[in-house]
Amino acid sequence: MKYVLGIDSGGTKYLVRACTPAGEPLAEYVGPPAGHYRFERDEVLRRVNGNIDACLARFGGHRRDCAFLVCGTTGIDSDRDSRVVQEIYEGLSGFRCPVLCVNDAQVAQFAVTGGVGAVVIAGTGSIAFGCNEKGETARCGGWPPCIFGDEGSGSWVSTRALNHLSLLMDGRVEPSLLSGMLSEALHLEKREDLIGVCIDIEHMCWKNPGLTALVDRAAAQGDAYAVGILREAAQHTFALADTIVRRLKLAEMPVFRVGAWGSAIVKSPLHFGFFKEQFEAKYGNVEVRIATEDAAMGACRMAAARLAAGGR
C-alpha cells in the first residue's frame, strides 16, 4: 500500500506520521529526538531508523511503498544544515521515493495555512515563516537569544517575568500577584536567590520557558504587569509575522492567512488575542488562526501536495 511519511524532528521528541496519499492517517509514533546537531551521525541514523520502523510496524508498512517523505526539523538554518540533513534522509536504506527536508517552521506553516500564508512560532524561541502563491518563501527571526532573537517566545516571557521581580527587589515597582507567584514558585527571598536562578553556568542567561504559565495565570487574574508582558510579547510576534506578510505581499490576496504556533502564544489566550487584534486592526482581509493539526501532519499534507504536483 502506498503512503506518505511526515516527520516532525524536534529538540525533545521525534514524531512520525504515515498517511495515505489522499491524507487519511494510517499510524503515528513518538520516539526519542534525532537532531543532527545533537548527536553523531551514526547515532542520528540509529534513532531515525528506529523511529520510522516503529511507525511502519503499526500499520504493516514497507519502506519501498513510501511515495514521498517530508521531514521538518529544528537546526536547518543554513545551506550547509540543509545539505547535511538531506543527505541523511536520502541515504536511508529501502526508500525509493522523493525526500524533502526543511526547517520545522515550514511544515508548521503548511499545517496552519495550507501552504500559502504566514505563521509565527512562539515556543521556547520564536521565528516566522511564509510562502505566497508564487511559491516564494521568507523567514524572519530565529536568532540566538544572546542578541534578543527570541522575541515574544516562552523564554522571552519568562525573562521579562524575572526582570519584573528584579525591579521589585530594587524598589522600582510595587509588589504584585505576579511577583508573589514567582517568588513562591522559585523559592526566592533575596537578591542572591534571584541571581542564582538566572545564571546558567554555560550560557550565563535564563533560557527556560517554564514561567509562561505563571504569567498567563497572573494575567488571567488581572495582574497589570503580567498583562503588560503578554501585550509586549504580542507586539513582537506580530512584528515577526507582519514582516513576512509585507515581504511576500500576502495582503494583496483577497483573503490571506496568518497562523500562530507554539505554546507561548497558542496556550495563552491573551497573547494570541493581542496578536490577532493587531493583525485585524491593520488588515481587513486577514484570517488569523491556530493550527488544528500537528507539524508531522503538516509534513504529511506537504508530502501529499508535492506528490499530487508530480513529486516535486
The model's pLDDT over 79-133, given as tens digits with 9 standing for 90+, comes to: 899 999 999 999 999 999 999 999 988 999 999 999 999 999 998 889 999 999 9
The model's pLDDT over 215-235, given as tens digits with 9 standing for 90+, comes to: 999 999 999 999 999 999 999
Which helix (H) or strand (E) element contains residue 197?
A: helix 191-198
The Cα–Cα gap between 238 and 274 comes to 9
Examine domains 3-97 and 116-291 and report if their fold is the same.
yes
The domain ranges of the chain are 3-97, 116-291
Q: Three cell numbers at 57?
A: 510496524
Q: Looking at the predicted structure, is the pLDDT value of residue 204 above 90?
A: no
Q: Looking at the predicted structure, is the pLDDT value of residue 179 above 60?
A: yes
Q: Which is higher by pLDDT, 15 or 149? A: 15
Q: Three cell numbers at 120?
A: 509565527
CB atoms within 10 A of CB 90: 13
Mean predicted confidence (pLDDT) in 269-294: 96
Q: Looking at the predicted structure, is the pLDDT value of residue 308 above 50?
A: yes
The Cα–Cα gap between 289 and 125 comes to 20
Q: Looking at the predicted structure, is the pLDDT value of residue 201 above 60?
A: no
CATH fit for domain 3-97, picks 3.40.50.970, 2.60.120.200, 2.60.40.10, 3.30.420.40 = 3.30.420.40
Confidence of residue 311 (pLDDT cuts 50, 70, 90): low
CB atoms within 10 A of CB 308: 11
Distances from the Cα of 150 to the Cα of 166, 180, 197, 236, 251, angstroms: 20, 26, 19, 9, 26
Q: Looking at the predicted structure, is the pLDDT value of residue 210 above 90?
A: no
The Cα–Cα gap between 234 and 289 comes to 15
The model's pLDDT over 237-264, given as tens digits with 9 standing for 90+, comes to: 999 999 999 999 999 999 999 999 999 9
Q: Three-state DSSP class for 261?
A: strand
CB atoms within 10 A of CB 181: 20
Mean predicted confidence (pLDDT) in 5-34: 94
Rg (CA), the chain: 21
- What is this structure's pTM? 0.86
Q: At a CB cut-off of 8 Å and minimum separation 6, what does 169 contact?
A: 190, 191, 194
Domain 116-291 has CATH 3.40.50.620: no
Mean predicted confidence (pLDDT) in 49-67: 98
Q: At a CB cut-off of 8 Å and minimum separation 6, what does 154 contact?
A: 122, 123, 124, 209, 210, 212, 262, 263, 264
Q: How many CA atoms lie within 13 A of 245 on its CB side?
A: 24
Which residue type is seen at 60? G
The Cα–Cα gap between 70 and 100 comes to 5
pLDDT at 192: 84
Q: Which is higher by pLDDT, 207 or 42? A: 42
pLDDT at 202: 43
Which residue type is seen at 54? A
The model's pLDDT over 131-146, given as tens digits with 9 standing for 90+, comes to: 999 999 999 998 888 7
pLDDT at 246: 98
Q: Say if strands 14-19 and 25-31 run parallel, antiparallel, or are unpaired.
A: antiparallel
The Cα–Cα gap between 179 and 117 comes to 39
Which residue type is seen at 250? L
